[in-house]
Chains A and B, each alone.
Chain A
Amino acid sequence: MASNKKYWKSVEELNENSAIVKALQDNEFVTEIPTDEFLGNKEVLAASSTTRRDFLKYVGFTTAAATLAACEGPVVKSIPYVVQPDEIVPGVANYYASTMADGFDFANILVKTREGRPIKIEKNDLAKHGGSVNARVHASVLSLYDKNRLTGPTIDGAGVSWAEFDTSVSQKLDSMTGKEIVLLTQTFASPSTSKLIAEFTAKYPNVRHVVYDAVSCSGALDAYQNKYGTRALPDYDFSKAEVIVSVGADFLGDWQGGSYSRGYAQGRIPKNGKISRHVQFEANLSLTGAKADKRVLATPSQQIQILKALAGGSSSDLPENIADAVNKAKAQLQKAGSKGLLITNLPDVESQTLALNFNASSDAIDVTKPLLIRQGSNSEVMNVVNGIISGSIKGLITVGVNPVYSLPNNKEFADAYQKLELSLAFAMKQDETASLAKMVAATPHYLESWGDAQIKKGSFSLAQPTIRPLFNTRQFQDCLMQWTGKAPNYFMYIKENWTASILEGGSWNKALEAGVLESSAETLMDPIQPVASGIKEEATSNGALASFSQDGNYELTLYTSTGLGDGQQANNPWLQEFPDPITRASWDNFLTVSAADAEELSLENYHVSNGALNGSYVNITLGTVKVENVPVIIQPGQAKGSVGMALGYGKTAAIQEEMQTGVNAYPLYQNFSEIQKVNIEKAGGVHEFACVQLQSTMAGRSNDIIKETTLEIFNTKNISEWNAVPVVDYDHAPVEVRDKKADIWSPFDETVGHHFNLSIDLNACTGCGACVIACHAENNIPVVGKDEVRKFRDMHWLRIDRYYSAGETFKEEIEKLENLPAFQTYKTVEVPAYENPEVAFQPVMCQHCNHAPCETVCPVAATSHGRQGQNQMAYNRCVGTRYCANNCPYKVRRFNWFLYSENDEFDYNMNNDLGRMVLNPDVVVRSRGVMEKCSLCIQMTQKTILDAKREGRPVKDGEFTTACASACETGAMVFGDVNDESSEILAMKKNDRMYHLLESTGTKPNVFYQMIVKNTAES
Chain B
Amino acid sequence: MKKVNFIHLRSKLPLLLLVFSLTFSTTIYSQDEAAPGGDVAAGEALFKANCAACHKLDAKAVGPALRGVADKFERQWLRDWIHNSPAMIASGDPLAVKLFEENNRAIMTPFPALSDTDIDNILAYTSQPKAVPAAAAATETGTGSSTGGEGVSNSLILGALALIFLLLVITLYLVTNTLKRIAEAQGVVYEEKTKRTPIWRAFVQNQFLVLSVSIFLILAAGYFAYGYLMQVGVDQGYAPVQPIHYSHKIHAGDNQIDCNFCHSSARQSKTSGIPSLNVCMNCHKNISEVAPETATEEYSKEFYDGEIAKLYKAVGWDVENQAYTGKTEPVKWVRIHNLPDFVYFNHSQHVTVAGIACQTCHGEVQEMEIMEQFAPLTMGWCINCHKETNVNLENNEYYAKIHEELSKKYGVAKLTIAEMGGLECGKCHY
Contact = CB atoms under 8 A, between A and B. Distances in A.
A532 B273 CA distance: 65
A34 interface: no
A864 B399 CA distance: 24
Interface stretch (A7-15, A84-92, A758-766, A910-918): A84-92
Chain B at the A interface: SS class: loop
Interface in B257-271: 265, 268-271
Interface string B371-407: 0000000000000000000000001111111100110
B333 interface: yes
Contact of A923 (B398, B425, B430): B430
Contact of B353 (A90, A872, A950): A950
Interface stretch (B13-21, B53-61, B339-347): B339-347
Given A83-B277, A749-B409, A867-B421, A78 B430 contact: no
Contacts of B395: 952
Chain A at the B interface: SS class: loop
B398 A949 contact: yes
A82 B232 contact: no
Interface string B302-341: 0000000000001110000000000010111111001011
B219 interface: no
B215 interface: no
A56 to B, nearest CB: 22
A950 B347 CA distance: 11
Contact of A874 (B271, B330, B331, B425): B425
B334 A82 contact: no
Contacts of A92: 265, 268-269
Interface stretch (A68-76, A261-269, A556-564): A68-76
Interface string A933-971: 001001100100110111011110000000000000000
Contacts of A157: none
B429 interface: yes
A864 B330 contact: no
Chain A interface residue count: which class? 35 or more
Contacts of A751: 405
B314 A82 contact: yes
A925 interface: yes
Interface in B267-304: 268-271, 273-279
A868 interface: yes
A575 B134 CA distance: 76
B427 interface: yes
A214 B116 CA distance: 81
Given A80-B331, A91-B273, A92-B265, A864 B427 contact: no
A873 B428 CA distance: 11
A15 B400 CA distance: 100
A747 to B, nearest CB: 13
Contact of A80 (B232, B330, B421, B427): B330
Contacts of B401: 954
Contacts of A938: 426, 430
A953 B397 contact: yes
B427 A955 contact: no
B178 interface: no
A91 B426 contact: no
A79 interface: yes
B332 A77 contact: yes
B344 A872 contact: no
Interface in A725-751: 749, 751
A465 to B, nearest CB: 22
Nearest to B394: A952
B235 interface: yes
Contact of B269 (A75, A82, A90): A90
Contacts of A753: 402, 405-406, 421
A76 B426 contact: no
Contact of A877 (B268, B334, B396, B425): B425
A616 B315 CA distance: 65
Given A89-B265, A92-B265, A73 B427 contact: no
Nearest to A70: B232
Given A77-B333, A80-B275, A866-B425, 10 more contacts: A78-B333, A79-B330, A82-B316, A89-B268, A752-B405, A866-B427, A922-B430, A935-B430, A939-B430, A955-B398
6 contacts: A78-B333, A80-B330, A945-B398, A949-B399, A950-B348, A954-B400
Interface of B: 232-233, 235, 240, 265, 268-271, 273-279, 314-316, 328, 330-335, 338, 340-342, 344, 346, 348-349, 352-353, 395-402, 405-406, 409, 421, 424-427, 429-430
